[in-house]
Chains A and B, each alone.
Chain A
Amino acid sequence: MNRRELIKAFAASASLTLAGRVWAAPATDARLLVVFLRGAYDAANVVVPVGSEFYYASRPTLAVARPDAGNPNAALALDAGWGLHPSLRDSIYPLWAKREIAFVPFAGTSDDLSRSHFETQDTIELGQAVGGSRDYRSGFMSRLASELTRVKPISFTDQLPLIFRGQNQIPNIGIASVSKPGVDDRQARLIREMYAKGDLANSVSEGFRVRDDVYKSVSEEMMAANRGAVSPRGFELSARRIGRLMREQFNLGFVDVGGWDTHVNQGAATGYLADRLGELGRGLAGFSEEIGPAMWRDTVVVVISEFGRTFRENGDRGTDHGHGSVYWVMGGGINGGRMAGEQVQVAQATLFQNRDYPVLTDYKAFFAGLIQHVYGLQQASLERIFTGIKPKDLNLV
């Protein structure tokens, strides 16, 4: 590559991103982060139907006690019918008090009943009609990115997830283990040249660009840690890094958290699930802290899972694969502090197949309604993202 070509290449990489659109990220841009809890989290033990006798009858060892100020292991009161798992007391519960989080119960895939983790994760990430042939090269967040201008999408995952696969190369980075690049600038240039004409050209050039940006951001944090600051671990570390990166440069993000498939010894107020939840809550609170109060007002975080679990506990103090779940929607500008969407009483008669939470809010209609409001998208845009879906307005934004 000669000098002139080099300058052209630099100019191109600095000013262009998806599909050749010019971007600049003004401070007031909306930000959206989708958090996927892989493994089907037991929503009924997180947003607990404390008003349901049937819940307590169905879960002799797993139930979380009804709200009780004197009991640290009791659920935290949300409203008359619902309570929050006590492990979220210091992280998520304050957001409820500030009306910055809403829960959407009975949410999920109304058209996918496979109760297969992998099938249903694919269903949600693709956001396509079930039953036809699937296009694995088109995830719904990738289609969303294509409809937006000034978008800087990123997946905070080791591998590029289905949800972000599509015609544009969206960068991914495993955020938990960022280290100083060993491949130097000269090698990076030669490697880019080798890939320049092939189908991985975008992947490689996006990779180098994001690698340098992310390393710069994380190295500042590492310097702080070297000065004695306590650095968090696990999901909290990742979520705080994500918060910083989404404050500074990226505005459409995805991250997933595994370990929710609790067939045995799930625990109740304490135990395995409680530990995972505590970590999740601390991470999300850390994210909102890092993104800062100004940006938090324009940020929406959505927490989803592929499905819920059986309403009754199984013989091993765990739960098996169910159907409906509970989604979380949080952010500084959220119309929160309430349970959103259609609801039914939690009782044996209302269970789906006498087994699971029913799905009353379909994930596609939910997301369509949400992004319509967050981005002010036209119907034609929504139609390209979720074909044939009528958006559901849950009055969240």
Chain B
Amino acid sequence: MSITATLGARTVAKLMIGTIAGLVMCHQPARAAELAAQDIALLDRLTWGVSASSAAHLQEIGTERWLQEQLHPANAALPAAVQKQIEAMPDAHRFPFDIAASFDQQGKSANQVADPEQRKAAQQVYQQAMNDRARQAAARTILRALYAPDQLRERLTWFWFNHFNVHQYKANVRVLVGDYEDRAIRANALGKFRNLLSATLHHPVMLRYLDNADNAAGHLNENYAREIMELHTMGVGSGYTQADVEALARILTGVGIDFKSEDPKLKPELQSQLVREGAFEFNPARHDFGDKTFLGHQIKGRGLAEVDEALDILCRHPATATHIAKQLATYFVSDNPAPALVQQMAQTFQKTDGDIAAVMSTLVHTPEFAASLKGGAKFKDPMLYVMSSVRLAYDTKVVLNTLPIQGWLNRLSEGLFNHETPDGYSMLSAAWNGPGQMMLRFEIARAIGSGSAGLFKPNEPNAVDQPAFPLVMNGLYFSNIKQTLSPTTLAALDQAVSPQDWNTLFLSSPEFMH
């Protein structure tokens, strides 16, 4: 008679869980045990989720030095195995303009195929190629979120992308959405807000998404102008009028995109006004050179310099400081951030001319932030939920395929580059804790907890699934996390019949959702 038959399958499973736990405990450095619960909460709040190695690092250098390291990251090199995956992606070493121009050409050629059947096939190839680029961009985002040492910058990159949201399925946005994230957003995520706003305005992806590429003198399109004020800077209800929207739209006429190598034909007197930087183009022939009144300022009609003047006005407007401060506080502190906290952050914003790192430094050093780490922490949005699950379960073991993660995010309605409207995903708990959402979370918890879930099978023909198992019950769990669980949760976990089942239940627990 075998042991299994004697003890019953459930008891064996429990023994196995115990054995795994024992093995893990032997290998963990003792110091992880000394971290305060607040430090674990801090890591969950400012990174893509606590892991054994990130906890050990914080323990090693102390909270304040860790914060400085995150606010002013010096060494942000990705682990070699991650860098290798990114380098292997097609087009990793081509200029974004060249890539976009060749896609533009491919799209045009596909449309010109005479035979309807062949045209359809060519268009399909073109669409597939664009989808591939968006998937590669999403893969880079996920790899950085999971493994980049400058975690706060990665959280802010997601935040700012969402703030300056674009949707991948509008026109050919997919081709350059990764470049938009890298060059316009990530590069400025901890810098000056004015630079961030300007970088998004100069990026072809934004100009296409909000239709400013079509905005010209006599053919006004006010879509982008409105969203700049409503979403990107001052915020709705802050005092601007329909006339201000129209004035900004006029200021923005001629700001567009050009993938052609030769310059547009212009009258001689306009030629000096032409500006081209990659695919960005200011075409003076499409600009409204009349004078404008914008937010009470008289703006002399003179070309692209008007845009800079308007951005200065917007960035220095007190409503912008308050709006941005409130958005950051909502994302990092609470659904309803205290007015005092927002005001303090807005003051820093104004004092430092919109220095994002300084505003974040103010945020993390307020008593409101410290208090929020103690009790009633924020409910995780799907992106944080999924990333924190994978980080906890696999820590530094690098996933070889991010497609399952992309799929989970899409199922949870927070897919990367996948929000259709310019307002971005909601940052409020109520958007993510409804009954349907909770059911999906438990399904994802099961997918992540039950095995390698395809994360270690490279996305290439004949690839072999590498051995891997999610280790949620690890040293960090025993030294820190277990003590934060309620008796109800511990009682449920105690009824797990296998390590897979235990993982599923833990990742489904109320504590892990927050």
Contacts and interface: CB of A to CB of B under 8 A. Distances in A.
B406 interface: no
A115 B226 contact: yes
Interface in A90-146: 114-119, 136-137
Interface string B178-222: 000000000000000000000000000000000100111011111
A159 B226 contact: no
Given A172-B435, A183-B442, A315-B216, A117 B421 contact: yes
B480 interface: no
Contact of B237 (A114, A155, A210, A320): A114
A79 interface: no
Contacts of A208: 439
Interface stretch (B42-50, B81-89, B364-372, B489-497): B489-497
A194 B510 contact: yes
Nearest to B485: A194
Interface stretch (A174-182, A333-341, A357-365, A384-392): A174-182
Contacts of A115: 226, 242
The CB with the most chain B CB atoms within 10 A, among A117, A194, A210, A353, is that of: A194
A320 B220 CA distance: 10
Nearest to B435: A207
A188 B420 CA distance: 33
B508 interface: yes
A344 B175 CA distance: 47
A193 interface: yes
B510 A200 contact: yes
Interface stretch (A217-225, A245-253, A257-265, A276-284): A257-265
Interface in B398-413: 411, 413
Contacts of A314: 219-222
A191 B492 contact: yes
B430 interface: yes
B230 interface: yes
Given A181-B443, A190-B492, A203 B413 contact: no
Contacts of A165: 430
Nearest to A212: B439
A316 B214 contact: yes
A116 B491 CA distance: 49
B237 A191 contact: no
A353 B245 CA distance: 14
Taking residues whose C-beta sits less than 8 angstroms from the other chain, chain A's interface range is 35 or more
A321 interface: yes
A15 to B, nearest CB: 19
A181 B231 CA distance: 38
Most buried by B among A137, A169, A172: A172
A258 B504 contact: no
B488 A316 contact: no
B434 A182 contact: no
A331 interface: no
B436 interface: yes
B73 to A, nearest CB: 33
A158 B435 CA distance: 10
A264 B211 contact: yes
A342 B294 CA distance: 37
Contacts, number: 155
A160 B435 contact: yes
A39 to B, nearest CB: 7
A150 interface: no
Interface string B414-442: 00000011010010101111111111101
Contact of A210 (B218, B222, B435): B435
Main secondary structure of the interface of A (DSSP, over half): loop
Nearest to A131: B237
Contacts of A210: 435-436
Contact of B443 (A38, A183, A197): A183
B446 A183 contact: yes
B344 interface: no
Nearest to A209: B435
Q: Is the interface of B mostly helix, strand, loop or mixed?
A: helix
B435 A159 contact: no
Contact of A119 (B216, B223, B237, B426): B237
Given A114-B236, A196-B488, A321-B226, A315 B435 contact: no
Contacts of B421: 38-39, 117-118, 258, 261
Contact of A206 (B236, B411, B435): B435
A160 B446 contact: no
Contacts of B434: 155, 159-160, 171-172, 203, 207
Nearest to A117: B421
B161 to A, nearest CB: 18
Interface size class of B (residues with CB under 8 A): 35 or more
A136 B426 CA distance: 13
A173 interface: yes
B501 interface: yes
B430 A160 contact: yes
B436 A315 contact: no
A310 to B, nearest CB: 9
B504 A187 contact: yes
Contacts of B505: 187, 190-191, 194
B491 A203 contact: no
B419 to A, nearest CB: 10
Contacts of A159: 413, 426, 431-432, 434, 436-437
B447 interface: yes
A193 B492 CA distance: 7
Contacts of A116: 226, 230, 236
Nearest to A320: B222
B70 interface: no
Contacts of A38: 421
B334 interface: no
B219 A118 contact: no
Contact of B221 (A114, A203, A320): A320
B59 to A, nearest CB: 29
A200 B426 CA distance: 19
Contact of B435 (A187, A197, A203): A203
A118 B236 contact: yes
B136 interface: no
A137 B428 CA distance: 11
Nearest to B410: A177
Contacts of B236: 114, 116, 118-119
A374 interface: no
Contacts of B420: 258-259
Q: State the 7 A-B residue pairs at the shortest beta-carbon distance, nearest first.
A: A315-B219, A160-B434, A207-B435, A172-B436, A158-B413, A316-B214, A206-B435
Given A197-B488, A207-B436, A314-B221, 12 more contacts: A118-B421, A160-B430, A169-B435, A171-B436, A174-B440, A187-B442, A190-B495, A191-B492, A200-B510, A203-B435, A206-B435, A315-B214
Interface of A: 38-39, 114-119, 136-137, 155, 157-160, 165, 169-174, 177, 181-183, 187-188, 190-191, 193-198, 200, 203-204, 206-208, 210-211, 258-259, 261, 263-264, 314-316, 318, 320-321, 353
Interface of B: 211, 214-216, 218-223, 226, 230-231, 236-237, 242, 411, 413, 420-421, 423, 426, 428, 430-440, 442-443, 446-447, 486, 488-489, 491-492, 495, 501, 504-505, 508-510, 513
20 contacts: A117-B423, A136-B428, A159-B432, A172-B436, A173-B439, A174-B413, A174-B436, A183-B443, A183-B508, A187-B501, A193-B491, A194-B509, A198-B510, A263-B221, A264-B214, A315-B214, A315-B216, A315-B218, A315-B219, A315-B221
